[in-house]
Amino acid sequence: MTRTPSGALGPTAISALISVPSGFTEKVTTVDWRTSPTLTHLDTPERIDVVLVNGDPNPNRPDLPHYGAGEAACKPLIAAIANAIYDATGARIRRVPFRPQRVVAALEAVRV
């Protein structure tokens, strides 16, 4: 648990780096970091900008839970990859992983 915004930046950036390969590979079934699909140094961006926003639309509602940080970035990041594929190709892919066969099938469906 982090109590400061600066404490959330690192875990959120790391979560983004872990999420990207998850969007392109089969589901991760191991916690063995030596064999788990990860990005290499050549695959990673030079810089990752993390912007923290107030996720609670109504701060006067203490009954609403906090959204969290770190792992909470995984699902939106994979959705952003799907949106980037759609923006670039016009093909909407709604299931992960975004394997080449699935992308090609989506492209062929759009071109019909």
Q: What is the pLDDT of residues 38-83, one digit of tens each?
A: 777 888 888 888 877 665 556 676 676 666 666 677 778 888 889 9
- Whole-angstrom Cα distance, residue 42 to residue 29? 25
- State how many domains the chain has: 1
The answer on pLDDT for 98 being more than 70 is yes
Give the sign of the dihedral formed by CA 12, CA 14, CA 19, CA 24: positive
Q: What is the CATH number of the domain that holds 82?
A: 3.30.365.10
Between the alpha carbon of residue 29 and those of residues 33, 36, 75, the distances in Å are 11, 8, 17
Averaged confidence pLDDT in the chain: 78
pLDDT at 82: 92
- Say which residue the tokens 């788990």 belong to: 36
- Whole-angstrom Cα distance, residue 69 to residue 8? 6
pLDDT at 68: 63
Domain limits for position 97: 5-110
